[in-house]
Chains A and B, each alone.
Chain A
């Protein structure tokens, strides 16, 4: 299955690179503009479940790596496909996939909030978890959490007179 899938993706998407690191794993690296198309193609191939959308901060390359993990209820359930796309760290964005998988919406909101990536076409990138404004999105690697804690929480004085 994974060999046939690898060949199918490679012939359909010329600018993608596919590797199969394990028996049940297929990893696809694509440019960000073709992410919805690739996910749509995979959904038609039977990968009907978007397990999760994640993000990796790569400050050395100046890039954010979006990771989409798909699995299947109809195919072999052990087979997972990982789709990766790299976007620029500052001002980069990848088009929303909530038209393909509606459950991507909260994932994209979360990544927008915690990593600062933009999702054009999402339309509802409002705060999800956080209550405060952060200068740097808190999941980026250059966010100094110790310094932030000292400035924000440790600077609040204890209540005296108890």
Chain B
């Protein structure tokens, strides 16, 4: 362990623990997931960085959206995101979750994922190399250190807006149930 990190461990042990135990939900969206097996296996061994894939959303705290998000997948993404325990970090991987990418005029692809769930960081590229995942992870460490990876807090704070956007696309969402929403957009739900 790096010697000058000892003070961080003593002052904010929770943050340090979250940083080095990023359990990625193994949720396969689109084509970007093909970069994840090399990341987690021997060649680039993501466990050096504390990133391991987990089977269920209830064990995970890192959600990588790895590719284009069709409308049907977005429903599953919302369900998965709602099942993950706090604190949870979301990373958009590739250009398609950012603005649609090459699916910019597709009839069935949600273009901006951050309209529906909060995103803490983006990894640009089509598709990003496995090295870019590690750069993204180290950036995420910095954000966690500074308290800026606060997507789950923003989701609670602006839950009314996120839920409104989700329902604009899907009509009535069967699950998750609506949390109590106050009027006015922000300030509700917490």
Contact = CB atoms under 8 A, between A and B. Distances in A.
Interface string A44-74: 0000000000000000000000000000000
B68 to A, nearest CB: 13
Interface stretch (B6-14, B33-41, B52-60, B158-166): B158-166
Interface residues of A, number: 22
A153 B110 contact: yes
Given A129-B72, A131-B75, A132-B71, A159 B165 contact: yes
Interface string A132-162: 1010001000010110110011111111111
Given A158-B114, A159-B162, A161-B157, A138 B107 contact: yes
B169 interface: yes
B20 interface: no
B170 interface: yes
B161 A156 contact: no
A149 B106 contact: yes
A130 interface: yes
Contacts of A157: 115, 161, 165
A159 B158 contact: yes
A153 B115 CA distance: 10
B158 A148 contact: no
Contact of B158 (A146, A156, A162): A162
Nearest to A139: B107
B80 interface: no
Contacts, number: 65
Contact of A145 (B107, B115, B185): B107
B170 A161 contact: no
Contact of B105 (A131, A134, A146, A161): A146
Contacts of B75: 131
Nearest to B186: A161
Contacts of A130: 71-72, 108
Given A129-B72, A131-B71, A161-B158, A145 B106 contact: yes
Interface string A62-105: 00000000000000000000000000000000000000000000
Interface in B43-82: 71-72, 75
Given A145-B107, A161-B158, 15 more contacts: A130-B71, A131-B75, A131-B108, A131-B170, A143-B107, A149-B111, A152-B169, A153-B100, A153-B112, A154-B111, A157-B115, A159-B162, A160-B158, A161-B157, A162-B154
18 contacts: A131-B71, A131-B72, A131-B108, A138-B108, A145-B105, A149-B111, A153-B112, A153-B169, A154-B111, A156-B115, A157-B165, A158-B112, A159-B114, A159-B115, A159-B161, A159-B162, A161-B161, A161-B186
- What 8 pairs across the A-B complex have the smallest Cβ distances? A138-B107, A131-B71, A159-B161, A161-B186, A131-B72, A146-B105, A145-B105, A145-B107
